[in-house]
Amino acid sequence: MKQLLFQHMKKKQLQTEQENGLKRMRKSSDNSGHLIELSIGLYNTQIFPYKIEYEV
């Protein structure tokens, strides 16, 4: 039941009836390993494509 409510809330936030989307979580920590930042993004890729760029 909780999961269904959460899915409904995500659809409402994204203003979509799509079942699939992208959830991005980004965490930052200090030198001691303590969490200092947490960012969570939900993307409807039908409306806004999510592009990842990185360097190795």
* pLDDT bracket for residue 55 (50, 70, 90): confident
pLDDT over threshold 60, residue 1: no
pTM over 0.75: no
Residues 10-43 have pLDDT tens digits of 666 666 676 667 788 899 999 999 999 999 887 7
Q: Rounded to 5 degrees, what are φ and ψ at 26?
A: -125, 130
pLDDT over threshold 70, residue 52: yes
Instruction: Report DSSP letters for the chain, one per residue.
Output: -HHHHHHHHHHHHHT---S--EEEEEEEE-TT--EEEEEEEEE-TTTS--------
